[in-house]
Every structure is written in structure tokens, then in C-alpha cells.
Amino acid sequence: MAALTLAACGEGSIDEETKDNESQAAAAGDCGEVNMAVNPWVGYEADAYVVGHIATEQLGCKVNYKELKEDVAWQGFGTGEVDVVIEDWGHPDLEKKFFEGTGDGSAMDGGPTGNVGIIGWYVPPWLAEEHPDILEYENLNKYASEFATSESGGKGQFLGADPSYVQFDEAIISNLDLDFKVVFSGSEAASITAFQQAEENKEFLIGYFYEPQWLFADVPLAKVALPAYEEGCQDDPAKVACDYPETELKKILSTEWVGEGGPAVELIQNFQWTNEDQNLVAKYISDEGMSAEDAAAKWVEENQDKVDAWLG
């Protein structure tokens, strides 16, 4: 009798836990799949994998990560291949093509990420300290020969980034009559390495870079002052002669996917964090060699209060 009573109590406990789990799953709803584009820079990767980790582990979603260039990712909204671009740096041309009203309506604004993007021309800190006048674009030609490399054809080298990024440096150089030539690094990682080596070896280097980016915590790059950005100064890519604007980064979502609803939609619309949050996860990935999944899991474990807010 004692054995039977214990067994009955045990079964009751298991049944209660099962019912609790079922009710929680019912409350969360069927999360289904999330097709997450991953654009080629580590800050984006940090955003994508933190949100993806939460969607997978706490909402039961299946997250499909798709490594795509920016313009290619937007094309996926209309075909159902992409549900989320988690970090957009401003693409009015693509908004016109894919947003409702001016385009096919396959994409929509998903709200800010909380990050502020700053693109510009940067030099290593040692160079700014020894030649402070180099931080004014009017003085760059005086130093052009110092920046020359075997790839720059006798002109000063300006280090571009991944060619798929939005960048107007060739036009800026031409329209400001600067004696420089753009040489693309090919990737974010290559640009980071170049700036690290230039600082360590006290080499002349100027190039396209941006914040948020974990590198600034280790190598505080100095920004060169270009003519101030004004509304419309980048409308014609061939005539750009101004600095890049500060950009409130935002999420772009598939209109159809949002319409279907589900817990992942609410999570992503609620997601907002700081440049410092992103830089920390990016540093785990790029500087400390962690996988994106492990870096995301570590951050989520240490910041459950922020996660709870996103989950509503």
C-alpha cells in the first residue's frame, strides 16, 4: 500500500509539471521559424545571435541564420526567405523599393535597436597625438605621401572596408580634391587588423570605420573632420562631399511575417540595447574567440533583466 501511495503521488507530480509546461507553451503560442539575415559585420552578428538565442531557448522558435549582404537580404522579404534584418544603417533607396506606399510593401520598419551608428574617416590614436592637424581634412594632402602604399599608385592610401557596405569615400576624395586612392580591405576583420597594426607599429593609416565597434575599447581611433553632413548632401552618390550622418539603427521586418504574429515578433519589436551591450558581445566573438552562440548565451545569462523586458 505504501509503495502504491508513493507511486500515485509521483504520478500526480509529473502530471502537474506536464500540465504546467503545456499551459506555458500554449501561452507562448507556436513560435515557428524565424529567418534571420546576418550581414557581414560583427556588431550585426551580436544583435542577431542574442535575439536568436532568446527566441530559441526561451520561446521555442527555430531560428535560421542566413549570411547575406545588405541589399540581397532585403530581396528576401518578398520571397519569404528573410523575416528579419536586425540592424539597418539606413537605406532610403531600399525603403523606397520595399516599403508600403512607394514600393511592394514586403518590408516594414521594426523600430530602433537602441544603437546609434557613426560612420566616418578614422586614424590610429598615435597619429592623432603626433599630428593633431591631420584630423582636419584640409590638411590631409600635406601628409598624402606618408599614407602611400604599393597599392595606391603614388597617392595616399585610403582604406575602404567591405565593398558591399554603404560608403561614399571615392566621391568624397574626388570632390574635396584629396590626393588619395581608395583601397578596399575586403572585410571588417581585415580593417580591424590594419588599424591594430598601424597603432602598434606607428604606421600612417586612414580609413573608413564606424561605431558601435568593440575595437574602440582597445584602440580609440580618432575621427577626421569632414564637411558637416546636411540633409540631401548624399542624395547624388557621385557628388558627395560631406561627412556621414549619425544614424539611429533600426530593425527591418517582413510585413507578412509580422502579420502572422507570434512571440518572436513581439521579442524583436521590443529588442533595444546600447552600444556598450553590443560592443561587449562583439568583443567576445572577435577578440576573445567565442562562437556567436556562446557569446550570446553568456550575455543573456548575465542580463536576464533586460531580456525579460524584451519578452514583455
CATH number of residue 130's parent domain: 3.40.190.100
CA dihedral 277, 191, 82, 289 (to 10 degrees): -60
pLDDT digits (tens, 9 = 90+) for 175-207: 999 999 999 999 999 999 999 999 999 999 999
Beta strand ranges found along the chain (DSSP E): 33-38, 62-67, 84-88, 107-123, 156-160, 180-184, 207-211, 222-224, 246-254
Q: Are 87 and 38 in contact (CB under 8 A)?
A: no
**Any domain includes 16:** no
Q: Which range marks the domain in which residue 94 is found?
A: 32-116+247-311
Indicate the pTM of the whole model.
0.80
Pairing of strands 207-211, 33-38: unpaired
Query: What's 148's DSSP letter?
Result: B
> CB neighbours (10 Å) of residue 31?
20
Q: How many domains does the chain have?
A: 2
Q: Residue 126: inside a domain, yes or no?
A: yes
Average pLDDT over residues 236-250: 96
One domain for residues 143 and 292: no
Question: Are 101 and 131 in the same domain?
Answer: no
* Sign of the four-CA dihedral 99, 105, 106, 108: positive
pLDDT at 186: 95
What pLDDT is attached to residue 29? 53
Cell numbers at residue 226, please? 569632414
In a domain, 21, yes or no: no
Q: What is the mean pLDDT of residues 144-153?
A: 97
Mean pLDDT of 43-62: 97
Q: How many CA atoms lie within 13 A of 137 on its CB side?
A: 24
Average confidence (pLDDT) over 272-299: 96
Q: Which of 226, 246, 266 is the last residue of a domain?
A: 246
Reported as a single tens digit per residue, the pLDDT across 73-112 is 999 999 999 999 999 998 989 999 999 999 999 999 999 9
Which pLDDT does position 312 carry in this prediction?
85
What mean pLDDT do residues 216-240 have? 95
Residues 160 and 222 in one domain: yes
What CATH code is carried by the domain that includes residue 105? 3.40.190.10
Three-class SS of residue 118? strand
